[in-house]
A and B are shown apart, each in its own frame.
Chain A
Amino acid sequence: MLARLGHRLLGGLAVVLGVVLLTFLLLHLAPGDPVELLLGPTATTEQVAAQRQALGLDRPLPSQFGSWIGRLARGDWGTSIAKGRPVRSVLGDAWPATVRLVALSLLLSYVIGLAVGAVQAARSGSRTDTALSVTSVALFAVPGYWLGLMLVLVFTYWARWLPAFGAAGLDSDYLSGGAWAIDRLRHLALPLATLTLIGIGGAARFVRGAMLEALSQPFITTARAKGLTPRRVVGHHALRNALSPVVTLLGLSLPALFSGAVFVEAVFAWPGVGRVLVEAVQARDYPVVMAATAVSAVLVVAGNMLADTLAGWVDPRVRSSAR
């Protein structure tokens, strides 16, 4: 178990390092010089050279990368060019918002998706099944930013119920207790609903398949033959066995969910890592881009490892057959 965990950790670390290295190379291969952008067209050649030296951009790439990693490990993430704040505090403010949004929508979409998929599989072929199938495929096909816009149109502009911007109201600092919580929840509602609705589509589709697979197994016939109620056969025997591929999918769907979050954060101005990344990329804020990419890679890899561990917990067979 420990050896397996160590193996996974090394693999995860390799992926994160690879992402960071790739980002670094892309940034340096791309046309456009940050120094010229920084100093403007009036700078002399000497000024440009001096600035390059000050930023360490004149050294060979491997040495630049090495020193960046070294500083990162020591906790120095550099300073944002556009915001003038330490990168660490920029990201430190952002990542809890993303985790909150992604984790909640993951939880909600899988709980609802499991229920919907189980109902469909139990009544496979019925009208309910068809109707739910069509709905989930359609939801799966909707791009997040557009669904977000439509929800804004309905709930913000037409119904005037929910805010469509940010994670808290302008007066949030002056609110306390219940009013503060309600303000937060109202701001969370639309982005969370957008991500969750799309997530339900994917989850239900997959759960239905996994449940049908489980329901065709011999032990289900046995369970039925024993005279168990259909409810117990589906809810207890089939669902438990369908759970392990679902948990694996949960891990695999994390990158997609994070991607979705990037767009949804852009629509709702949600102050998360995705929005920081989009803004930094547009402003060529290199230190922030590097760090935000690293953080998103860590989030994705950590999520995958968590799902792996969960899969072993849900299905003892995975545990015992694991190296």
Chain B
Amino acid sequence: MTRLLRDRRGAFGAVILLIVLVCAVAAPLVTSGDPASQRDIVATRFLPPLSTDAHGAFHPIGTDRFGRDVWTRLVYGARISMGVGVLAVLVSLAIGVVVGAVAGYWGGPVSITLLGLTDFALALPRVVLLLLLSALWQPSTALVIAVLGLTGWMGIARLVHGEVRALAARPFVEGAVAVGARRLRVLARHILPNALTPVIVAAALGVGNAITLEAGLSYLGLGVQAPTPSWGNMITSGRDTLVNAPWVAMAPGIALVLVVLACTLLGDALRDVLDPRTRR
């Protein structure tokens, strides 16, 4: 942990994510309240950043075309975007770890089938699938999580498969088998905990990726639906007012880039810290 924070990339990533998470959790405290609140639209819309409206309310990054406070929406949008990203990765993790572990530990036809399935799923164009799935069913936040989770597990399955196969041949696993532990117990208690390092790194990178894709789907109108603010649908609504209120599209994009950057840097730093081979 100390080593992670001493790494400048790790420290930067952790600090950014911490700030965003604290803001998201404490949203009612750091904002003026309801992200959907509209007052007198004509008097309060398109206020530039750092201005105070006729009601005396201060808008640090201005208001959108409905007079809604962009900062408030950004913070509440962080709840949705971060939540979707984390939950989607958890779904991917669950599927990927099970598929990878089973394929790596049992071998034989089970393994060949599962690995074939994984390779096949890897070759599918992910965005095409995302588009199809989210367009054909009624768009909703839960669907976005499911869709992102179901299309993101393959890399993790491959990683876990490789790790489990390497670990299964190690003496301590043979030892556990020799003392009569059941296969499932050996897998769950002895092998998997040792295989988690690369999985954690992949998960950190996956969160950033999932957040970007969520925003992409919402941008196309297929993800989180208005009036619930997500960074993706905020960029969409900002697109329409790009000329007279560029800050509406800029703010969620910058937040998105920062969070994805933080996930990537944290993932990179984690890999270097956790992998003894790259330690210098």
Contact = CB atoms under 8 A, between A and B. Distances in A.
Given A157-B242, A255-B126, A304-B123, A138 B135 contact: no
B136 A18 contact: no
A282 B242 contact: no
Contacts of A14: 120
A253 interface: no
| Binding site secondary structure of chain A | helix
A141 interface: yes
Contact of A157 (B125, B212, B235, B243): B243
B132 to A, nearest CB: 5
A262 B216 CA distance: 10
Contact of A140 (B129, B138, B264): B264
Contacts of B249: 146, 149-150, 153
Nearest to B268: A137
Interface in A283-316: 289, 293, 296-297, 300-301, 304
B123 A31 contact: no
A145 B242 CA distance: 13
Contacts of A262: 127-128, 131
B132 A153 contact: no
Contact of A281 (B124, B126, B135, B242): B135
A249 interface: no
B176 interface: no
B160 interface: no
Given A26-B136, A30-B136, A141 B219 contact: no
A143 B123 contact: no
Contacts of B128: 19, 259, 262, 277, 293, 296-297
B85 to A, nearest CB: 13
Interface in A74-113: none
A32 B242 contact: no
Interface of B: 120, 123-129, 131-133, 135-138, 208, 212, 215-216, 219-221, 235, 238-239, 242-243, 246, 249-250, 253, 256-257, 260-261, 264-265
Interface of A: 14-15, 18-19, 22-23, 26-27, 30-32, 137-138, 140-146, 149-150, 152-153, 157, 255, 258-259, 262-263, 266, 277-278, 281-282, 289, 293, 296-297, 300-301, 304
> 8 tightest CB-CB pairs across the interface, nearest first?
A30-B136, A259-B127, A141-B260, A146-B253, A281-B135, A141-B261, A15-B123, A143-B212
